[in-house]
Amino acid sequence: MPRDDVWFYQLDGVMLGPVTLAWLKEQILSGRLAATVRVRREDEMALAPAAESPEFGLRPPSVQPPLIPSPPARSEGPAVSREAGATGAGGGGRVGTGTAKLGGHPRAGTGRNSTGHWSRRSEKHFLGFYLGIFLLISFFLFSGLRLAGYPPAGYAPNDSGAWPSPGNAPAGRNREEIPLPGGESLKLAPIPAGTFSMGSPGSESGRRDDEVQHEAVISRPFHMGVHEVTQAQWRAVMGTNPGRFEGDRLPVEQVSWEDATAFCRRVSELTGRRVRLPTEAEWEYACRAGTGTAFNTGETIGPHQANYNGDHVYGEGAKGAYRQETAEVGSFPGNAWGLHDMHGNVWEWCSDWYGGYPAGSASDPKGPESGAYRVLRGGGWHSFPWSCRSASRYMIDPGYRNHGFGFRVVMD
């Protein structure tokens, strides 16, 4: 077992481990561990709580707390690596028999290194000697797992060409407005039925493997919120304001998928109009509004067109403002179907469980029957531009809240 097959897992600033690489991989892929690594474009790597970097963190903590393996009785020097490495891959041996659990894990500095807890000395050791190893392995593993949000080198132009006609219902007609308590209302734009290519071509810069391009049919027209749901709208319906940023016309954030669906149910009860979250296919179809490029703005996007991390560029785009907060909805031009902020501002919950796309054509796809994570789309104020692409997908626990996550509604 090579020495670098040993990982140290950081949770709330506390090093836990060592574990084998295979074990950690298994835990991450099964969603039982939260990742704490983010990878920056400049090849920097930094440790950060997953909650602070949702698009770089791998997964949120799952409902079931993971077992944290017991540390070795003597946790210092290279002997630790050899010892831990010898426990073997696949979660066997010592690694799989730990007793500390997430949420009840031992804190560093307890000085009880012979009873399965970390001593200050061992903590120093891990930070001092193995952090570098941890970061190095992090880079390769997380990149390999397609979860680091790391763009490929260079940006080839998108050569995807034009897409089929989106349909025959003209945009701008038959807008709907659903009155809410307190004088608020939800404005919805008509979205025509049609067929489109969902996902991204292999040539699209910044794409991920789960964006497999395929034909998707939207068989019925529907209406979609012109804007992300605002804080004023949320407050009018739910009586609360969970947002970290404050402003009536700012999108509501720090709402989970469960919160968002509760909002939809409540609006439906109050108004008699059937309001729900869009499916992932509906969201992308409406975002594209007939375009087949990486963004509905074309081959690239700029900070004057959407609210995202303008310190970074996509393709031939230019740097610009990184506002580091949400913007009032509708601050930027809408797409061809009159929808604003489909790229950036807040990620938007979709109704689907996350899963792989179907191999062939799909009609009104709704995602897997079950799953562990719900889908978010469009990127947020904190996102790199490539995470805001029309085909970009993100997924997380449906109970997870973040100040970059919001939603918009659709109505049949």
Output 142 or 394, the one with its CB closest to Ca ion: 394
Dihedral (CA of 235, 54, 321, 319) sign: negative
Per CB under 5 A, the list member of 57, 69, 225, 378 interacting with Ca ion is 378
Tell me how many helices (H) and strands (E) the chain has: 7, 18
DSSP helix/strand/coil, 307: strand
Ranges of beta strands (E only) in 199-346 are 214-218, 222-225, 275-276
Least Å distance, CB 346 to Ca ion, is 5
Output 211 or 341, the one with its CB closest to Ca ion.
341
Q: Which is nearer to Ca ion, 271 or 331 (CB)?
A: 331
Contact 192, 376 (CB under 8 A): no
Q: CA-CA distance, 37 to 148, in Å (whole number)?
A: 8
Smallest distance from the beta carbon of 29 to Ca ion, in angstroms?
Answer: 28
Distance CA 45, CA 55 (A): 14
Indicate the DSSP class of residue 210: T
The rounded distance, in Å, linking the Cα atoms of 400 and 332 is 28
Residue 333: CB minimum distance to Ca ion, A? 14
Question: Which among 137-145, 344-352, 384-392, 397-405 is the span making contact with Ca ion, rule CB under 5 A?
Answer: 344-352
Tokens of 64: 């079931």
- Dig out the tokens for 395 from the structure: 């997924």
Q: Which residue number, 98 or 379, has a Cβ lying nearer to Ca ion?
A: 379
In the complex, what is the shortest distance from the CB of residue 390 to Ca ion, in angstroms, rounded to a whole number? 12
How many residues make contact with Ca ion (CB under 5 A)?
Answer: 3
Scanning 144-152, 216-224, 254-262, 372-380 for contacts with Ca ion by CB under 5 A, the matching segment is 372-380
Looking up tokens 């068989």 gives: 219
| Cβ 195 to Ca ion shortest distance, Å | 24
341 binds Ca ion (CB under 5 A): yes
Shortest Å, Cβ 334 to Ca ion: 12
Closest approach, Cβ 72 to Ca ion, in A, equals 47
**Considering the rule CB under 5 A, would residue 307 count as an interface residue with Ca ion?**
no
* 123: contact with Ca ion by CB under 5 A: no
Whole-number minimum distance, CB 206 to Ca ion, in Å? Answer: 17
CA distances from 48 to 17, 36, 149 (A): 17, 5, 15
Residue type for 92, please? G
Stretch in the footprint of Ca ion (CB under 5 A) among 123-131, 292-300, 334-342, 365-373: 334-342
Rule CB under 5 A: choose which of 296, 345, 390, 402 binds Ca ion: 345
- Cβ proximity to Ca ion, 126 vs 257, nearer residue: 257
CB of 328 to Ca ion, least distance (A): 13
Residues comprising the chain, all counted: 412
222-225 and 410-411: which strand pairing? antiparallel
Please, which contacts does 262-270 make with residues 24 or more away whose CB atoms are closer than 8 Å? 262/238, 263/229, 263/234, 263/237, 263/238, 263/407, 263/409, 264/409, 266/237, 266/238, 267/178, 267/180, 267/186, 267/237, 267/409, 270/180, 270/181, 270/237
Q: Given the rule CB under 5 A, which of 150-158, 240-248, 312-320, 377-385 is the region that contacts Ca ion?
A: 377-385
The answer to whether 198 touches 363, Cβ cutoff 8 Å, is: no
Which range binds Ca ion by CB under 5 A, 133-141, 164-172, 329-337, 345-353?
345-353
Q: Tell me, residue by residue from 156 to 195, as one string, x for binding to Ca ion by CB under 5 A and - for no binding.
A: ----------------------------------------
Round the CA-based radius of gyration of the chain to a whole number and report it.
23
Residues that bind Ca ion (CB under 5 A): 341, 345, 378
